């Protein structure tokens, strides 16, 4: 029997951000994936704070939060959040499974762990390819330098522009 995931893998991948040189997911994104309110998720985490050391979860600084708000166009200070969000590393997301015990939370956790593993594999594959290319470049004549630089440009993944959230006028 095929177990259909409650969340598409692409949706999870879009939630993974790189902050402080760590791959993390914001509390609001996790809450949406789990189907709970953000404040409920944060409340459950705070009740079990001893399970979330700094390498599992941390709160963004005001500057980081403001930067994210500008980058993603989140709500103003009059609506929405009153405090900077918490972000969870892969280990923190795994620990959430011991705090949130619904069937949906278990399934979502499994899919998030799979997304982190896929992302790690992609990064390792790209790194291995770059090392092989560097070895080949050393062996061949400088006339192939153009070919090698073209291959390097192809290896750089282009990020698709994210669709803006909210109301859009015809002019924008």
Q: What are the tens digits of pLDDT across the range 86-140? A: 999 988 988 887 788 777 877 887 888 888 888 777 777 777 777 777 777 677 6
| Separation in Å, CA 68 to CA 64, 153, 154 | 6, 28, 29
In the chain, what percentage of residues exceed pLDDT 90? 19
* Topology classification of domain 9-126: Mlu1-box Binding Protein; DNA-binding Domain (3.10.260)
How would you class 11 by CB atoms within 10 Å of its CB: exposed for 0-12, middle for 13-18, buried for 19 or more? middle
Q: What are the tens digits of pLDDT across the range 4-19? A: 556 677 787 888 888 8
Q: For position 68, what pLDDT does the model report?
A: 75
The predicted model gives 22-33 an average pLDDT of: 90
Confidence tier at 161 by pLDDT (50, 70, 90):
low
Domain residue limits, the chain: 9-126
* H helix runs in the chain, sequence order: 9-15, 27-34, 38-47, 62-72, 90-99, 103-139, 145-155
- For the chain, the farthest-separated pair of C-alpha atoms sits apart, in whole angstroms, at 63
Q: For position 125, what pLDDT does the model report?
A: 76
Q: For position 126, what pLDDT does the model report?
A: 74
Q: Report which of residues 122 and 23 the model is more confident about.
A: 23
| Separation in Å, CA 15 to CA 8, 124, 146 | 11, 20, 36
In the chain, what percentage of residues exceed pLDDT 70? 69
Q: Report which of residues 44 and 136 the model is more confident about.
A: 44
CB 52 within 8 A of CB 95: yes
The predicted model gives 146-169 an average pLDDT of: 62
pTM of the model: 0.61
Q: For position 1, what pLDDT does the model report?
A: 42
Q: Report which of residues 26 and 68 the model is more confident about.
A: 26
């Amino acid at each position: 029997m095929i177990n259909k995931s409650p969340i598409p893998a692409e949706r999870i991948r879009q939630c993974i951000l790189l902050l402080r040189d760590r791959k993390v997911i914001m509390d609001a994104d996790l809450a949406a994936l789990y189907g709970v309110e953000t404040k409920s998720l944060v409340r459950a985490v705070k009740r079990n704070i001893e399970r979330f050391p700094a390498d599992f979860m941390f709160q963004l600084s005001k500057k980081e939060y403001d930067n994210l708000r500008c980058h993603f166009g989140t709500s103003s200070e009059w609506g929405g959040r009153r405090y900077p969000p918490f972000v969870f590393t892969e280990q923190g997301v795994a620990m959430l499974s011991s705090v949130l015990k619904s069937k949906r939370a278990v399934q979502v956790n499994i899919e998030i762990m799979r997304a982190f593993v896929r992302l790690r594999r992609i990064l390792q594959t790209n790194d291995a390819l770059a090392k092989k290319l560097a070895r080949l470049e050393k062996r061949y004549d400088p006339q192939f330098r153009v070919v090698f630089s073209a291959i390097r440009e192809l290896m750089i993944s282009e990020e698709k522009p994210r669709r803006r959230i909210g109301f859009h006028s015809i002019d924008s």
